Amino acid sequence: MAMPLHATFVGGATGPWQVDRLAAVRGEGLPVVERLSVIEGRESAPPETAVWTLRGVTSNERYVTRTEHVALVERQPPLGRPEATRAALIPVRKTDQWWNLSQDERRAIFEERSRHVSIGLEYLPAVARRLFHSRDLGERFDFLTWFEYAPADAEVFEELVARLRATEEWSSVEREIDIRLVWDAETRRRPL
């Protein structure tokens, strides 16, 4: 596994990503901001103008089987593709009930009954993704999910999100914010 990558998502008045929309899907919202920047590294100091900061770290996979892992690696595109000028940052917190389940019970809901990976695989390679864990950092969300896609795939991404939100897994989501972004900088897109 690659080394854990720490990232801080900073909402405020600066940053290369322009916020297209920011809406609470479930639970408490977040203040609307104009722009977003992503700072890498554990010791990142967010700018003083930050309205909110969300921290996360990549980790080992918890649920996927070897077969699923191989299928994901074969199909998933890298982050930072020049044409992927749209992104979504979707912070998610799950219920205490979810966290009180055992690993096999969570896997059964996540994949056997909700088909999270099977559904997700249908949308590769259009969508590039990275999952950040926040729960163990004492953050207000459990996960920060990050996705990148080309403008032509915006509707396809909406379909994916709608399908996942209709699953049994999502009944364990108690807070979710949907933040959509447009790359708005002179510089070429580059990986997070």
Residue 63 contacts ligand HEM per CB under 6 A: yes
Nearer to ligand HEM (CB atom), residue 50 or residue 142:
142
Residue 91 contacts ligand HEM per CB under 6 A:
no
**Given candidates 57, 64, 101, 156, which one binds ligand HEM under the rule CB under 6 A?**
64
Q: 């790359």: which residue's tokens? A: 183
By the rule CB under 6 A, 38 interacts with ligand HEM: no
Residue nearest to ligand HEM (CB): 120
Stretch that binds ligand HEM, among 2-10, 33-41, 43-51, 59-67 (CB under 6 A): 59-67
Question: Would you count residue 61 as binding ligand HEM (CB under 6 A)?
Answer: yes
Nearest approach, Cβ of residue 169 and ligand HEM (Å):
7
Whose tokens are 């909402």? That residue is 11
Amino acid at 39: I
Both tokens of 118, joined, read 């099977």
The three-class DSSP label of residue 157 is: helix
Among 164, 177, 179, 181, which residue interacts with ligand HEM (rule: CB under 6 A)? Answer: 164
User: Binding ligand HEM by CB under 6 A: which of 17, 132, 141, 143?
Assistant: 143
Say whether residue 101 binds ligand HEM (CB under 6 A). Answer: no
Size of the site for ligand HEM (CB under 6 A): 23
DSSP string, 89-150: EEEEEE-HHHHHS-HHHHHIIIIIIT-HHHHHHTTTTT-EEEEEE-GGGT-SSSEEEEEEE-
Question: What is 4-48 written as a DSSP string?
Answer: P-EEEEEEES-SSEEEEEEEEEESS-----SEEEEEESTT----T
Question: Contact, 120 vs 160, CB < 8 A?
Answer: yes
How many whole angstroms separate alpha carbon 17 and alpha carbon 183?
A: 5
89 binds ligand HEM (CB under 6 A): no
Contacts with ligand HEM by CB under 6 A lie at 61-64, 72, 90, 92, 94, 116-117, 120-121, 123-124, 127, 129, 131, 143, 145, 147, 160-161, 164
